[in-house]
Amino acid sequence: MSTKKIGKQTYQPDNPPVLISTGTVVGPFEGQGPLKDYFDHIYTDLTAGERSFEAAEKEMLLNACFTCLNKANVTPQEVDFFLAGDLLNQTISSGFSALELRIPYLGIYGACSTSAEGLCLATMLVDGGFASYVLAATSSHNASAERQYRYPTEYGFHRKPQVQWTVTGAGAALVAPDGEGPRITRFTVGKVHDLGIKDPLNLGAAMAPAAADTIVRHFADTGHGPDYFDLIVTGDLGKFGYQLTVKMAESNGGFDLTKNYKDCGLILYDTGTQDVHAGGSGCASSAVVTYGYLYKKMMEGELKRILLVATGALHSPVSCYQGNGIPGIAHAVCIEMI
């Protein structure tokens, strides 16, 4: 029997699916950053006209999904699967969005790696012949995530240098067998790693080992090194996680990432004028940068090949209270204009 697996953790579809459409929305703070012209909608307030931050996140996720579908002239009834996840307990943003979309729903959770996880699963479903359209989406909200994982913003908690800023926004991508747009040509499913970090305010460093391992594994499995790509992006490692990933890729695999590697959490904001400390994080970090800025650069011909490596911290308030470490995961998706 033929297999789509190459190497140890990487898979290559026989018929690479196409990202035929995307939708991105962001909050007001993100709308002040250098990528503001690449988003479909910028909200003027954090509540998005809703009664709570959690309800606002659901509104943003739905907006991104409907925007994505409208661009492709596809109705929810035509979509075979809705793959979505977020950071809130029991992924309520995704579940309540699925209630309104009325699309067969598979809830996923990879923390901030959810964007790449969704694309991996969408590729399997489309290439495997199980679906003609798969909508993959994710979201995060600064105020809802802070309230759940750390301290409500009203508390005025003093933020340390290594703390990151949870991105407020949502991104969606519509994956199909054919059409105009970049294709998903390979993907690498990561393994969980634990550096032993127990500080939930230092997530970039906690996720870096998973990012470096998945990047090195993708290179080893495919035979393509960093020079194969126009750009390699991680999701939300921030300044400290980015630096650690560069060092670990060099020490563990001998790969130099300094020429074409960036972190979405660092390019989403103007770190000189916007106080995000170590940089952006959250499910929306990789989603809005990839589905907004990078997708449009690919459609315009400025980028031909990118490697998206979205990372996630697989902890919870309960696990931290019980003294556990913070495991990390990363999945890599190769997106190419072919």
Residues linked to residue 99 through DSSP beta bridges, in sequence order: none
User: For residue 109, which amino acid is it?
Assistant: Y
Integer angstrom CA distances of residue 325 from 196, 257, 321: 5, 27, 10
Query: What's the confidence (pLDDT) of residue 272?
Result: 85
Q: Does the pLDDT value for residue 148 go beyond 80?
A: no
Contact 319, 171 (CB under 8 A): no
Look at residue 159 in the predicted model and tell me its pLDDT. 61
Q: Which amino acid would we find at residue 107?
A: G
pLDDT-based confidence at residue 193 (cuts at 50, 70, 90): very high
Rounded to an integer, the average pLDDT of 39-68 is 96
Mean pLDDT to the nearest integer, 196-217 = 90
Instruction: Specify the pLDDT at position 158.
Output: 54
Query: Residue 42 pLDDT > 70, yes or no?
Result: yes
Domains in the chain: boundaries: 5-176, 183-336
State mean pLDDT over 200-226. Answer: 93
What band does 124 get if pLDDT is binned at 50, 70 and 90? very high
Whole-structure pTM value: 0.94
Question: What are the tens digits of pLDDT across the range 244-267?
Answer: 999 999 999 999 999 999 999 999
Mapping DSSP onto H, E and C, the string for the chain reads CCCCEECCCEECCCCCCEEEEEEEEECCCHHHCCCHHHCCEECCCCCCCCCCHHHHHHHHHHHHHHHHHHHHCCCHHHCCEEEEECCCHHHHHHHHHHHHHCCCEEECCCHHHHHHHHHHHHHHHHHCCCCCCEEEEEEECHHHHHHHHCCCHHHCCCCCCCCCEECCEEEEEEEECCCCCCEEEEEECCCCECCCCCCCCCHHHHHHHHHHHHHHHHHHHHCCCHHHCCEEEECCCHHHHHHHHHHHHHHHHCCCCCCCEEEHHHHCCCCCCCCCCCCEECHHHHHHHHHHHHHHHHHCCCCCEEEEEEEEECCCHHHHHCCCCCCEEEEEEEEECC
- Of the candidates 205, 239, 225, 209, the one whose C-alpha atom is nearest the C-alpha of residue 307 is 225
Q: Helix axis angle, 203-222 relative to 238-253, nearest 10°?
A: 40
Q: Are 91 and 105 in contact (CB under 8 A)?
A: no
Give the confidence band of 156 by pLDDT, cuts at 50, 70, 90.
low
The CATH H-level (homologous superfamily) assignment of domain 183-336 is Stage V sporulation protein AD (3.40.47.40)
CATH number, domain 5-176? 3.40.47.40
Q: Which tokens in the block code for residue 101?
A: 């979309």
pLDDT tens readout for residues 218-241 = 999 999 999 999 999 999 999 889
- Least-confidence region, from 78-87, 95-104, 239-248, 270-279: 270-279
Percent of the chain at pLDDT exceeding 70: 95
**CA 101 centroid distance within chain:** 21
